[in-house]
Amino acid sequence: MTLDLLREYIVFAKHLNFSRAAAELSMTQSTLSKHVAALEKELGFLVVERGRELRFTAQGKAFLESAQKVVHLYDDELAALQAQFASNAEPVLLYESLSRWTEFLDSLDDVPFSFAEMKSGESIIEGVTKGRMDVGFGHDLSIDADPQASAEERGIDIVPITAMPMGLLLSRDNELARLETLGRDDLRSRTFAVLDGSFFDENSAFIPALFGRDLDLRFSITPISGSLANVDYLQLGDEILLYDRETLRALCERRQDLTMFETLDGIPIEVPIALYCRRDDPNPNVSRFVERARAFFKKAE
């Protein structure tokens, strides 16, 4: 006797009608009738009296009570076991940039996590692929077909989460810095700075997909050790840097030779952000973390 058969009997008992019960169970009436008959044969007694209307036998009523106890006990024990495994699972290793999501992280009272530093010269996808982190964080590369296909080949899921306010940073010597407002067409044939060579392929695919491939954008590696940790040494020249708005505002307060545009054609610059995780990650807390993030940022919209 299987749990599936017990569950079918409970649904049948709810309707006491083969047709309606079969519809709820997504099976044919004849199949359900055969299953109930097989159940009666295994039990050694009838559970219903068949006639113009179906009626429970005394044995059928008693067995219904027992069937519900068995199914409820199984479901409760399974849920408790899954919760135990989840609580004993390893903490989720997060890309260090996720530390900025303090409000979300503070809400994770039952998902343990810690932070993993990026290895020099390694992209987010590489870090996740090699298991140096469980959950990465960065631009949503699924907006471009090639990076999306590359991630799928590596068994990496790209999970869109939210949009991040961004800015375009320029040197005050850049001719574009003289403009009162910046338009999309002003970016045509311009060169964007990439602060870390390991992100060159991703940025050179993502930014054209974001602003439009017709702009014929160029890209140049402008190495800054620790990304913006050493911004005092950042020299942009005629290049443009796309980065998160909060960081660039703080940078412009420190550096009078730099300026930032927060809008393009009068529209605030935002980029889609995604989480990256291995599709076959054995740690159940990883999927729980991702689902919590989805729910948190959906609610915040």
Half-sphere exposure of 231 (CA within 13 A, CB side): 18
How would you write the pLDDT of the chain (301 residues) with one tens digit per residue? 788 899 988 998 888 888 998 998 899 999 999 999 998 899 899 998 988 888 889 998 998 899 899 989 988 888 777 666 655 568 899 988 888 888 989 888 878 888 887 776 678 888 888 888 999 988 998 888 888 888 888 899 999 999 999 999 999 999 999 999 999 999 999 999 988 777 888 889 999 999 999 999 999 987 765 445 566 678 889 999 999 999 899 889 988 999 999 999 999 999 999 999 999 888 888 988 999 999 998 876 6
Question: From CA 269, how far away is CA 167, in angstroms rounded?
Answer: 6
Residues in the chain: 301
CA dist 299 → 94, 157, 163, 293, 295 (Å):
22, 22, 13, 10, 6
Task: Tell me the domain boundaries of the chain.
Answer: 3-88, 92-300
Instruction: Produce one character per residue of 192-227: b if its CB has 16 or more CB atoms within 10 Å, e if not.
Output: bbbbbebbebbbebbbbbbbeeebebebeebebeee
The pairing of beta strand 191-194 with beta strand 156-171: unpaired
Q: Label the pairing between strands 191-194 and 218-221.
A: parallel
Fold of the 3-88 domain:
Arc Repressor Mutant, subunit A (1.10.10)
Residue 219's pLDDT is what?
95
- Looking at residue 86, its pLDDT comes to 58
CATH no. for 92-300? 3.40.190.290
Q: What per-residue confidence (pLDDT) applies to 87?
A: 57
Residues 6+ apart with CB under 8 A from 251: 169, 228, 231, 258
Q: What is the pLDDT of residue 150?
A: 85
Q: Tell me what pLDDT residue 126 has.
A: 86
* Residue written as token pair 């054995």: 282
What pLDDT is stored for residue 120 in this prediction? 66
